[in-house]
Structure 1
Amino acid sequence: MISLIEEATGATDTVALLRLSKAGVDVIETTITPRSRAAGRVLAEISLPAGTVIQDGRPTVPTPEMRLQPGDKLLVVSHAATEQEIHTAFQ
């Protein structure tokens, strides 16, 4: 099972990790790469659907002024955003 998850997450920059249908939210992971459109930009410059929360892999809530760098791994929790929308916003 772990190898399947590693294989799936290694194949793309953006992966839907969990769908909580009762809560109506998706948890999506995306990694900022040197080629990502979000690399070097601050979080406030990224257009995301309402109801979307970003977690930057550390136990803190990122601020709008957080500058995204290659190698950053973001967890996105959203009521509205799809995996494709997150990929489009960051990649």
Structure 2
Amino acid sequence: MRVVIAGAGIVGRSIARELIGNGHRVLLVDRAPAAMKISSVPDAQWLLADACEVTSLQEADLADCDVVVAATGDDKANLVVSLLAKTEYGVPRTVARVNNPKNEWLFDEAWGVDVAVSTPRLMTALVEEAVSAGELVRLFTFQQGQTSMAEFTLDETSRVVGRTVAEVRLPEDTVLVAIVRGERPIAPDRDDRLEAGDHLMFLSSPAAEDALRTVLGSP
């Protein structure tokens, strides 16, 4: 897979190292000469250019790109890169970094964003997930905001404790994708019986989350 990353700061370089370690080809693009720390990711390709300009994206050969990651520290730039990648070059998948959670509502299909990643929101969700048994915590949203991944930790008062997966009537547009019990992930089977302390991972539409809370919560 070929990935172009706009923004060669700490975030962009970290993503690049992970992708290269997984066998992917990566091009890092940044307009700041000080960001050209080539020795920090020697196996990546590097391009000194402004990723918000069409000529730069042509030089980056986005037409031959599978994924564009807009990872700059500027939300406006990340939106422009995502929009150009999707509309001008038909890149199959765009992932955009959200620096200010107040701007998160902009990062949708109208701006060419397939997946928006808000680090502050994700960190908040992970903190809540660690301490909030009995609460539905949204971890992230993708597919232009139409699908979210959420986690619910069952406590002793949950109405589904002791039931099998098949006995739990989930809301429409909601799928149980994993049960984490202790440190072990479990692929849900209809005969698996739910226990207090189980971490349930769901894919659902954001509109279904209130109904999901009702299903899983205390009587």
Measured against aligned partners, the alpha-carbon deviations of 1:34-76 in whole angstroms (never above 9, x if no partner) come to: 0100110111111113442211121x42011110000000000
CA–CA distance in structure 1, aligned partners of residues 145 and 187 of structure 2: 21
Specify which of 143, 148, 166 is matched with residue 44 of structure 1: 166
Aligned to 1:40, the other structure's residue is in SS state coil
- Residues 81 and 49 of structure 1: CA distance in aligned 2, closer, same or farther (over 3 Å): farther
CA–CA distance in structure 1, aligned partners of residues 127 and 202 of structure 2: 20
Higher helix proportion (structure 1 or 2): 2
Q: 1:51·1:80 contact (CA, 8 Å) conserved in 2?
A: no
Counterpart for residue 149 of structure 2: 27
Bigger relative contact order (CA 8 A; separation at least 6): 1
Larger Rg belongs to:
2
TM superposition outliers: structure 1 runs of 4+ over 3 Å: 1-7
CA–CA distance in structure 1, aligned partners of residues 209 and 173 of structure 2: 14
Counterpart for residue 74 of structure 1: 200
Q: Please tell me the root mean square deviation across aligned C-alpha atoms, in Å.
A: 2.4
Normalised to the residue count of structure 1, the TM-score between the two structures is: 0.78
Normalised to the residue count of structure 2, the TM-score between the two structures is: 0.36
Q: Does 1:56 align with 2:179?
A: yes
CA–CA distance in structure 1, aligned partners of residues 170 and 125 of structure 2: 26
- Name the aligned partner's letter for residue 33 of structure 1: D
CA–CA distance in structure 1, aligned partners of residues 125 and 205 of structure 2: 23
Q: 1:52·1:81 contact (CA, 8 Å) conserved in 2?
A: no
Q: 1:30·1:75 contact (CA, 8 Å) conserved in 2?
A: yes
Percent identity (aligned): 27
Structure 2 alignment gaps of length 5 or more: 1-119
CA–CA distance in structure 1, aligned partners of residues 201 and 160 of structure 2: 15
Aligned to 2:149, the other structure's residue is in SS state strand
Query: How many angstroms does 1:29 deviate by?
Result: 0.4
